[in-house]
Amino acid sequence: MKSRRKITIMASTLLVLSLAASAFVLHCTDKLRPQATLDEVLFISSPTLVKRASLGYDGLMACIYWTRAVQYFGYRHHYYAASYNLLAPLLEITTHLDPHLIVAYEFGSSFLAPKPPHGAGEPERAVALMKYGIENNPDNWHLYYDLGFVYYMELHDYKDAEETFERGTKVPNAHPFLKIFAAQMAQHAGEYQTARMLWSATYQTTQEKQIKQNAIDHLRALRVDEDVDHLQDAVTRFGERTGRLPANIWELVSAEGLPGIPLDPDGHPYKMTPQGRIELRDPDAFPFATKGLPVGYKRKYGGMN
């Protein structure tokens, strides 16, 4: 009886110790190969094959692939990756497994189409994904909106954007702003105004926090682009009037009769270089701004390809 107890104690101790030791060794191994556990490999890239292999439990598989897509994008986005090679296949597999998973299409249009580091830079695949979504969910007006959005924002294809928004208006319970967008596309109305309307609509209609934040970032960047455009025009006007550049931004402000130095959306005043360029004080705070960036400024990209 005594020896049995001894063995029990020994075995229990050994169990705990070896478990702790194996965890420690694994932790050390992970440090040696930091990327190993996050290797981006898609062993099965065929949506059909994955669907077959799921033995009919495709709903659960879709949730797993969807989570993988979110994790993949989040991880690479966090490190400002220059490419998102697996995002499109992951979304295609997800939607093939569950064609009614609307959030995957919404996410796809928002993050598959924009250029890296904000997205995968694959607008054509985003369009294909959205078309597949519409095919399987023809009564969901959000999908028409998202597809029209990609056509307009990323492909600058006004004709297809107009047609898509127009088709969306015919869907029961479609949001009335689709009609306005269709008209805007037909007129090729002011870029800023249309873009602002589209991003505002995205912000108002999505439930998803990441997409909401993306819309806010774009709206902030649009305001910066528009402000910089106006101020740059003012500099040109000043030059035409006086034959020289303003000595500083204060001179420009008083010449234009402005109440003060215009502020960016964060409340920082814009600055003017001696060469008459209007620039942002903190360009990193506006990842989508295309204007007001210092000469030679490069966006943060991580080491990831």
| Binding status of residue 55 toward another protein by CB under 8 A | yes
Answer yes or no: are the C-beta atoms of 112 and 122 closer than 8 Å: yes
| Binding status of residue 242 toward another protein by CB under 8 A | no
- Least gap, CB of 118 to another protein (angstroms): 17
**With contacts defined by CB under 8 A, how many residues of the chain interact with another protein?**
21
* Residue at 210: amino acid letter: Q
| Binding status of residue 152 toward another protein by CB under 8 A | no
| Binding status of residue 146 toward another protein by CB under 8 A | no
Distance of CA 75 to the CA centre of its chain: 13
- Indicate the residue among 69 and 224 with the shorter CB distance to another protein: 69
Select the residue interacting with another protein from 12, 22, 45, 71 (CB under 8 A).
Answer: 71
- Indicate the residue among 63 and 180 with the shorter CB distance to another protein: 63
| Binding status of residue 151 toward another protein by CB under 8 A | no
Kindly identify the residues of this chain, within the stretch 181-210, that bind another protein according to CB under 8 A: 207-208, 210
| Binding status of residue 304 toward another protein by CB under 8 A | no
Answer yes or no: are the C-beta atoms of 261 and 250 closer than 8 Å: yes
Binding mask 102-131 toward another protein (x if CB under 8 A, else -) reads: -x---x------------------------
Cβ partners under 8 Å of residue 200, min gap 6: 215, 219
| Distance from the first to the final alpha carbon of the chain | 63
Token pair for 207: 């439930």
Token pair for 305: 């390809």
- Indicate the residue among 94 and 184 with the shorter CB distance to another protein: 94
| Binding status of residue 66 toward another protein by CB under 8 A | yes
Binding site for another protein (CB under 8 A): 52, 55-60, 62-63, 66-67, 70-71, 98, 100-101, 103, 107, 207-208, 210
